[in-house]
């Protein structure tokens, strides 16, 4: 799990969840809120997905958050 701030000073967390058929999703959650957004990851397993998130810069995380779809 990674914590980061968006451009408005809100704190977000990015974590990995396993979706159907073994696909990996990065789930964004804003602290103090119920807002959830999702973004697909290219990783084939949880360990690789966690490594992918760990390697992202804060700017990359912000970009991924802007492009993420609402969690439904």
- How many distinct structural domains can be found in the chain? 1
pTM: 0.90
Q: What is the strand order of the sheet 36-41 is part of?
A: 2-5, 11-18, 24-30, 36-41, 69-70
Q: How large is the average pLDDT for residues 33-60?
A: 94
Among residues 61, 68, 59, 54, which one has the least CA distance to residue 25? 68
Is the pLDDT at 21 greater than 90, yes or no? no
Provide the 3-class DSSP secondary structure of residue 40: strand
Q: Which domain holds residue 7?
A: 2-70
Is the pLDDT at 19 greater than 90, yes or no? no
What's the confidence (pLDDT) of residue 72? 83
Give residue-wise pLDDT tens across range 50-63. 999 999 999 999 99
Q: How large is the average pLDDT for residues 24-45?
A: 94
């Amino acid at each position: 799990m990674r914590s980061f701030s968006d451009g408005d000073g809100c704190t977000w967390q990015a974590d990995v969840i396993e979706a159907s058929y073994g696909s990996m999703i990065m789930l964004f959650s804003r602290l103090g809120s119920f807002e959830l957004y999702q973004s697909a990851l290219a990783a084939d397993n949880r360990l690789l997905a966690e490594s992918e998130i760990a390697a992202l810069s804060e700017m990359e995380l912000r970009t991924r958050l802007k492009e993420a779809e609402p969690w439904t």
